[in-house]
Amino acid sequence: MTKEPDKIDSLLERTLDDLEALPEPGMRAGTLARRVAELTPDEIARFFNSLLVRIKTDKKARAALALIVDPKALKSALGSSIFHDVHKRATEVGLLKVVRLFTDLEPEKSGPAGYDKEIDAQMESISLGERRTLSKVGVKESIDRLLSDPDPMVIGNILNNPRTTETEAVKIASKRPGAAEILKLVATHSKWSKRYAVKKAVALNPYSPPRVVIILLESLMAQDLKLVVKDKSLHEQVRTSAEELLKEGEEA
């Protein structure tokens, strides 16, 4: 090991301070990638373990969660070789939180996204361009009827729309069947990923990408982790991860 744990913690603290000061998700992601780029796999594993340990008690750590929820984005930022080396090192030293972070799994369920109510399905007769425009500037009634739209850009516009409320974000996160890409949009959104009800809705949706859910579990309360463990519609590894987190909480 080339850095002492306290140096890793100091680097994490500085990084979280800098991330908090940056306004754009892209800028935050780039800063995080640059900070870990010069670390060894062992140091990267310890860096992210420290981050994950702090999520439940540190507001700045929770704010950074959206940057690491998507495994493909994390792999792209670090490079495939480093990604796998970190997973290997975390496994060797028993950093279970990091092992879970540096993995990927297919959703337990998959299905078509789209409108399931006849009145809302009428929106599909409107062109995609019009629906995208409505999702940006439309009145609340239009936004409500677009919540089940299968187009990720429409949903992304709704999530960014200042008229959108937490209730509507939860509806998007709870939709079944749901598209994995859309559920990932919710889980990584700079605003809605911080809302507990939204994170819980994504975590309890069997159509959510399991690896996305596994990282969201880090910020869930014990009572909700127990719901995850009992829900057999969820991916087995998601339920196992929730069980591990409950045990970690008991041992702390």
Say which amino acid occupies 62: R
Whole-angstrom CA distances from 7 to 1, 12, 40 are: 12, 9, 13
d(CA 14, CA 86): 22
6-17 pLDDT tens trace: 889 999 999 999
For residue 187 the two structure tokens come to 């889980």
Angle between helix axes 41-54 and 5-21 (nearest 10 degrees) is: 60
d(CA 1, CA 45): 11
Helix, strand, coil tally for the chain in percent (to 5): 70, 0, 30
User: Does the pLDDT of residue 169 top 90, yes or no?
Assistant: yes
For residue 241 the two structure tokens come to 């991860």
User: Does the pLDDT of residue 171 top 60, yes or no?
Assistant: yes
d(CA 132, CA 82): 38
175-203 pLDDT tens trace: 998 899 999 999 999 899 999 999 999 99
What is the pTM assigned to this prediction?
A: 0.81
Q: Give the pLDDT score at 50.
A: 95
Tokens 């062992």 belong to residue: 42
> Could you state, in order of their start, the residue ranges of all structural domains in the chain?
5-101, 118-251
For residue 41 the two structure tokens come to 């796999």
